[in-house]
Each structure stands twice: as C-alpha cells, then as structure tokens.
Amino acid sequence: MYAVLDIETTGGKYNEEGITEIAIHKFDGHKVVDSFISLVNPEKDIQPFVVNLTGINNKMLQTAPKFHEVAKRIIEITEDVVIVAHNAQFDYRILRTEFRRLGYNYQRKTLCTVDLSKTLLPDAESYSLGKLVRSLGIPVSDRHRANGDALATIKLFKLLLAKDTEKKIIQDVIRKETHGELSDKQLDIVKSMPNETGLFYMHNKDGEIIYLSKSTDIKKRVNQLFTKSGDRSRKLAKETKKVSFELTGSELVALLKEHQELIKNNPKYNTTPKKRMFSHTLCKSTNVKGYIELRAVPLSDCKEANSYFNGIFSAKNHLHKITKEFNLCDKLNGISEARENCSAYTEGNCNGACIQKESPELYNQRMSEALSKYTLQGKDVLLIDKGREVGENSVILIRKGSLVGLGYYDLNHQINNMPILESLITPMNGTMNANFIIASYLRKKRIIKTIPITN
C-alpha cells in the first residue's frame, strides 16, 4: 500500500518553510482507496515567487486549518504505507519538520518517482514532473497545486510499476526510514553550522579531514552532503563523525583557502585539484597598421597571453564584454568578419579603428586600459572585502600581480601603515592557479574596494 502525496510550501529559508497545501492519495497499486486534500494555514507569509507559481496567497489561507489540526488525519492515512512523491526527499523532510515542531517523531518509508524514473526511463530529457509527464502523454491539470501534482504522480507511478517487470527495482529503491533524512547525530551537526560564508571540514572517527569545501551557506551545504544520494555521498555521510568550520566573510578568501588546503590535506572524498586550472587566454598581437588585436585562443597557441580562462566560452564572453565596455572594434577583435567597417561602428559603438577613422595611438591606449582593468598583472594592490564579523574587513595583499597573503583588520585601524598591515597577513603561495582564482573572481563578482599600494 502506498500514500502518494504532494506538498506546496511558503518557500523561504531551509527548514523554516511552512506547508500551504497538502494532497495525499492512498493507493493500493491499482486504484485510490482514500484521499485527503487540504489547504493549510502556515502561520507565516508566503514568498512572492511562490504565490506567482502556485496561485496560493496569504488571504486564501486565513481560514484554512493549521497543521496541528490536520496532523492526526495525515498520520492515519499514511499509517503502515510507503510514501511516494516526486522528489520524496523534499516532501518527506517538510512533513517531518512540521511534525517535529509538534514534538512528534514522524517516520515512514519513502519511494521517489524521480529515482525510479531515472532507472526505468533512462532516455527521458528531463525528470521534472511537468516535463516528464508531458513527454509521456500523461494529462495534468492544476500544475503546481498539491492535488494536481499528486494525481499526475499517481499516473506516473502506475506507469513505472508496469515497467518494473522483475519487481526488483522497487525493492532496491524503497528507502529505509532514515535514508534521505538526517540521523539525530547529523541533525545536531547541521544545527551547529552557521548560515555564513567560509570553509567546513568533515572528519572521520580519527579526526582526519576526509572532505573540505568552501560555501556561502555552510549549514545548507553540509545538510545537502548528508542527504545526497549516491554511493560516494552515502559513504562520506557514514564516515563523518564531526564537522568543523572556519568563517571567512569573503567568498574570495574562502576560495583561496580552499585551494591551498585541498593541496595540503588531499582529503579522501575531494577531487584532486587540477595542476593548471586555466586553458585559454586572450592573445594580443599588433596588425600591420599598428592596431592591437585580441583573439580568444588556447594558451598553447599564444606567445603574448593576457588574462587566463578555464574554457573558450569564458574567454570569448570576456572579449565581448571589454569590447563593448571600452568601445573597441568588433572587427579587430575577431568578433565581426565584415569586409569594411564593423556594424558597431554604424551603431556608434566603435570609433572606426576598423577603417582607420581612429588613430592607432588613441585606440591602443583604450585597449591598454581595457586589458589593465581586469588583470592584476604587475600590480601592487590591496583587495578589501567583507570580514568575519561587523567592524572587520578581509584584506588580500598582491605584489607584482601575485598573491602574497591574506588577513583581517579592524575597521578602526588604518591600513596605510604597511609594516603593521604585513604583520596581520598570513603568507600564501602565489601560484599561477591562486592568481587565476583571484583574477577570475574579480571579473565576475565585486569586492568592497581595491587600494593601490604606493611605496
């Protein structure tokens, strides 16, 4: 016997969501034998994007029963059955969270139609409920409403049961009561983690680091690792006895520390870092008329490299970006194959270097500014970003374009005294990969400010 269910929630922070609607159909493998469908008053506001998605708004739920008023009915209809849902881990977690708030330990076995579909329908283009049922010709109404999605899940589940001719797959994927749900020990670990930026370290029983990673939300990431499916993830979760963390405030600092510590510690469950994280560059050359040209090419094909990228698409995207930002020429940068002037000149976004309307001196000066803005090459600067707490900033020291070290300083202290600043800095190895991490980050995201160092 099964209980096919779907839940709609308020959205919001992890484990702080509330149920807004629930639909449960007791299903014997052939037909529905009992149903429970209800709106639920979550006693909190619904996120605007959820209102747009489901059509359920706060006003509709004012007179709806609260969860504690429907809890007994949910327990009864799901007694001694296997809960079936599309992405069962999510629905089951939400249900358990609501019961936990009432002081009740709700446990059921679960079966996920996403997992089943990946095994029984391996050629499907997508495993989202909407796209999957549409590709199978299964009609669905009231999409993103609990009952509409639950009824669609029943039809999908019936199809999957029919395809499971040997009846082995269902036996294998029925989860144990705690699978996809945290043990008490893991719950305690997750609760102790902060929703902040930094690094976390997963330790085995001997205290050894078996996995480390940076995250902008440590609590959320640790929880994901504990509940992720797959043999490797389950082994990691099983071996982890403790998780420690270090706050950095700055995501860039976290990236640099992660890179350094992966090399030093080589944790069992981390992928070995690449010897070279970049593969492409913007190659600089000067044509016969004296204009500087740029091309996105593999690093091995370039004698005068400028900036590094982890793929051709990243290199081309950056080339397009600086060409537009600095009114450079599409034709000279290989973006346009026009015989005469490029279309950007016609649109007023190119000053005419393609047809010698602009002198090489003026054009090359602007090109140099474009190249200088997004590289640290040869520069002595301080990169200032968020600190670990209020009243503190992080600082990364760059000399001659290479990482020297990083640290933190109190906002009440001046940072123009280099001897004092250098005493706060923890030295780091300015490898090409470390310098690439910094330059790549600065091309995509912002820090608080960059301060040139004057000797």
Radius of gyration of the chain (CA): 28
Which residues, including other chains, have CB under 8 Å from residue 35's CB and lie 6 or more apart? Answer: 23, 24, 25, 26
Nearest to 209 by CA among 153, 264, 157, 274: 264
Angle at 71 between CA 69 and CA 73, to 5 degrees: 95
Q: Is 406 left (phi over 0), alpha (psi -120 to 50) or beta?
A: beta
> If you count DSSP H runs as helices and E runs as strands, how many of each does the chain have, helices first?
16, 16
* pLDDT at 177 (0 to 100): 40
Q: Which two tokens mark 420?
A: 């004092």
Q: How would you classify the pairing of strands 2-9 and 82-85?
A: parallel
* pLDDT at 391 (0 to 100): 87
Q: Which two tokens mark 67?
A: 């969860």
Is 184-265 in the same CATH topology as 2-173?
no
**What percent of the chain is helix, strand and coil (3-state, nearest 5)?**
40, 20, 40
Task: Give this prediction's pTM.
Answer: 0.62
* pLDDT at 178 (0 to 100): 43
* pLDDT at 80 (0 to 100): 85
Q: List the chain domain ranges.
A: 2-173, 184-265, 280-373, 381-452
Q: Is the pLDDT of residue 212 over 90?
A: yes
pLDDT tens for 107-163 read 888 888 898 888 888 888 888 898 888 888 787 787 788 899 999 999 898 888 877
* pLDDT at 171 (0 to 100): 61
DSSP label at residue 39: E
Domain 2-173 is found in CATH 3.30.420.10: yes
pLDDT tens for 69-92 read 999 999 999 998 889 999 888 899
Average pLDDT over residues 373-388: 92
Average pLDDT over residues 427-444: 93
Nearest to 97 by CA among 188, 182, 185: 182
Lowest mean pLDDT among 33-37, 100-104, 169-173, 195-199: 169-173
pLDDT tens for 3-23 read 999 999 998 877 778 999 999
In CATH, the number for domain 184-265 is 3.40.1440.10
Distances (CA, A) of 65 to 16, 44, 60, 68, 94: 19, 13, 11, 8, 17
